[in-house]
Amino acid sequence: MNQEDSLAKGIQLCKEEKYEEAIGLFNNLLIETPENTNVLYNRAKAYSRTGKFKQAVSDFDKIVELTNSPSMISERALAHFLNQNTEAAMKDLDLAAELDPENPYRYSSRAFIKDRLGDLEGAIKDYNKAIELDPDDAISYNNKGLVEEKLGRKEAAKKSFTKADHLADGKPSAIDAPTKQVSQPKTPENKPTIKSNKADSKSKPKMKFTDFLNTTKSIISDKKERADFFDFIRSLGKK
């Protein structure tokens, strides 16, 4: 079996939730090609799904060293967060936003962490920035509304939820200009395209808003880059 087939088998094992078996396969692949970022990425995800967040961080460290990709820095931030290292998580999220300042998901991801850490005003500020960069993002509107509710700003929250609902349904909003219709989500790929030392592309599929309604755990999901990774974070809230 060649490396490409072995990687595909490992990804399939992860889909079947056979993570330990997949990790063993990824380990063997990395003996042959220790700087294979696709293998490192998928092993990091497998580590995260088995609660081995420290090992996941280690793999993301290697990927970031090789690529300096803002996407992978954001992924590492979330691994840090799951490993209860909030200081390192925030440092990475700040760095990702600095490297990729025009990507709205740098701010919505950081807003999620700020919300969880109790920095509600900081979360609102980042959600506003994310919305400024992507006015059609129903998820950011919804989760901004959730934070506004926590702050007791009921009218502001109602407006945010209304806007989110209209965007999700592809209908013109009563509080804003007409918006584009939200398309059906695309299936996230397990094999990332990692760009070296360049800001990530802003092109992205729209996710179905109703899949995320009433839960903050899924908002951090980047519609293009990290949907599958954050399905795991959402699952933590169900345990």
Q: Give the domains, in start order, of the chain with CATH numbers.
A: 1-71 (1.25.40.10)
- Determine the pLDDT at residue 100: 97
- Determine the pLDDT at residue 172: 53
Half-sphere CA count of 127, side-chain side, radius 13 A? 29
* Cα→Cα distances 117→17, 75, 84, 89, 155, Å: 30, 18, 11, 11, 24
pLDDT by 10s per residue, the chain, length 239:
788 999 999 999 999 999 999 999 999 999 999 999 999 999 999 999 999 999 999 999 999 999 999 999 999 999 999 999 999 999 999 999 999 999 999 999 999 999 999 999 999 999 999 999 999 999 999 999 999 999 999 999 999 999 999 998 875 554 443 333 333 223 333 434 444 343 443 333 333 333 333 333 333 344 544 444 444 444 444 44
- Determine the pLDDT at residue 171: 59
Model-level pTM?
0.72
| Closest residue by Cα to residue 80 from 90, 94, 72, 68 | 90
